[in-house]
């Protein structure tokens, strides 16, 4: 069964940058990532910039990102095979 990888906030930001998300702002330890679509729609994700993200936090970010990206796109970056 695949296991959730241990990732930092920086790692997660790099993963989402592969899909066109850019860091829009940072307030305290949370970064706001945003992607603009051709039709003008904005997609936003918030990621804590910590050295190591808790498993529950990582799962929550993964679920939120599934609103914008498919599981096939996300799974290789977040789970081991």
What is the tens place of the pLDDT at every residue in 17-32? 999 999 999 999 999 9
pLDDT for 2: 87
Query: Each residue of 37-64: pLDDT tens digit?
Result: 989 899 999 999 999 999 999 999 999 9
- pLDDT-above-70 percentage for the chain: 100
How long a stretch of residues is the chain?
A: 81
The token duo for 76 is 């290789």
pLDDT, tens digit, 9 for 90 and up, residues 57-76: 999 999 999 999 999 999 99
Q: Which helix (H) or strand (E) holds 17?
A: helix 9-17
Structure tokens at 68: 């914008």
Half-sphere exposure of 74 (CA within 13 A, CB side): 18
Of 52, 59, 54, the C-alpha closest to 75 is: 59
Question: Any idea what the Cα angle at residue 18 is, between residues 22 and 81, rounded to 5°?
Answer: 135
The reported pLDDT for the residue numbered 1 is: 80
Domain 9-69, CATH number (from 3.40.390, 3.40.50, 2.40.128, 3.30.920): 3.30.920
């Amino acid at each position: 069964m695949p296991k959730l990888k241990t990732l930092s906030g920086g790692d997660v930001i790099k993963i989402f940058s592969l899909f066109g998300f850019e860091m829009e702002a940072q307030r305290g330890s949370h970064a706001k990532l945003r992607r603009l679509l051709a039709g003008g729609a904005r997609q936003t994700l918030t990621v804590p910039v910590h050295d190591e993200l808790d498993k529950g936090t990582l799962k929550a970010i993964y679920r939120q990102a599934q609103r914008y990206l498919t599981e096939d796109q996300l799974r290789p970056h977040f789970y081991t095979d």
